[in-house]
Amino acid sequence: MYIAIYLLQSNTVRLLSPELVFGSLAMILLAIALILFIIFHQKRIFRYQQRIQKMEAEHQKMLLRASIKLQEEERTRLAADLHDDAGPLLATAKLYLNDNFLNMDKTTQMQAMYSAKQIIDDTIQLIRNISHSLMPPTLKNFGLSSAVNDFFQKINNSGTLNANAKFHDYKIRLKAERELILFRVIQELVNNVLKHSQASFIHLTEHDVEDKVIIRLHHDGMGLTQEEFLRFTKEKDGLGLKNIQSRLRVLYGDILYEEDTSQSLYKVTIEIPREEGEENFSSK
């Protein structure tokens, strides 16, 4: 107070200049604008994240529906095979061994028994084939390497194209259920090549790198890029690609589709992380 009186009395009061006033107001307005920009920008980021999360949730639901549909199709096929093939065979065998069997003469009994035996043998083979389609015995007993090589050998024998597989580092087996899923993924990839690519050869290699199993499949036909693969998995069609993606999610695996334009080749790379406690292949 004394200072103010002193300043007034000494006529040294200085009025604020217009430039300083306008500069201060500009700084205040700039600060307010910056704060509003940050707030609106954060809201936009939040809305964008919500939209991404919603799209990811929808994608997860689509993959789940594809996985469920695949399981239902496999169950339906299994039920149809048992109902349409095994059922009639067993019913026919029962006809040969009906209540009147004991009243037949020896020759007729022998003929009926022989016919029933043939039908039962056919039924056993049918059920064995169904069982093998669910869990290939080569995969169960000898592992992924043998199962893939056996699968590729059948392709070669068909004369469709040249197929070969090289497993370089597969000394530690994945768990049985994980091997089966990976084998189904490889089958689906190869079937897609056979159906759509018009390739003349398929070459598959396996390597272990830093606790990962890496599968690479090359072919010289028409293929996909990663962008096309991701686009197809988000559409209603492309059930096979959705099945591949949903199966790999169970394995926490990744897949990458690439085009090698210099050599006119397409490459698909699958990476599967290993889990603890997986069986040592060399001990089998």
pLDDT band at 11 (very low <50, low <70, confident <90, very high): very low
The verdict on 95 and 42 lying in the same domain is yes
The verdict on 203 and 112 lying in the same domain is no
pLDDT tens figures, 216-262:
999 999 888 898 888 888 776 666 788 888 889 888 899 999 988 76
Is 5 domain-assigned?
no
pTM: 0.60
The verdict on 203 and 96 lying in the same domain is no
The backbone torsions φ and ψ at residue 251, rounded to the nearest 5 degrees and listed phi first, read -90, 0
pLDDT score for 183: 93
Which stretch of DSSP H or E encloses residue 24? Answer: helix 18-81
The verdict on 105 and 193 lying in the same domain is no
Is 48 domain-assigned?
yes
The token pair at 100 is 């009147």
The verdict on 143 and 105 lying in the same domain is no
The verdict on 112 and 178 lying in the same domain is no
* CATH code at position 213: 3.30.565.10
Closest CA to 186 of 209, 155, 159: 155
Q: Specify whether the CB–CB gap between 244 and 184 falls below 8 A.
A: no
Is 257 domain-assigned?
yes
In this model, does residue 267 exceed pLDDT 50? yes
The verdict on 182 and 107 lying in the same domain is no
Q: Which of 73, 106, 134 is the last residue of a domain?
A: 134
Is 7 domain-assigned?
no
Domain limits for position 22: 18-134
The verdict on 94 and 160 lying in the same domain is no
pLDDT tens figures, 147-205:
999 999 988 888 878 999 999 989 889 988 889 889 989 998 998 898 888 899 999 99
Is 247 domain-assigned?
yes
Q: Which of 134, 160, 175 is the last residue of a domain?
A: 134
Q: Specify whether the CB–CB gap between 204 and 166 falls below 8 A.
A: yes
Is 76 domain-assigned?
yes
Total count of domains within the chain: 2
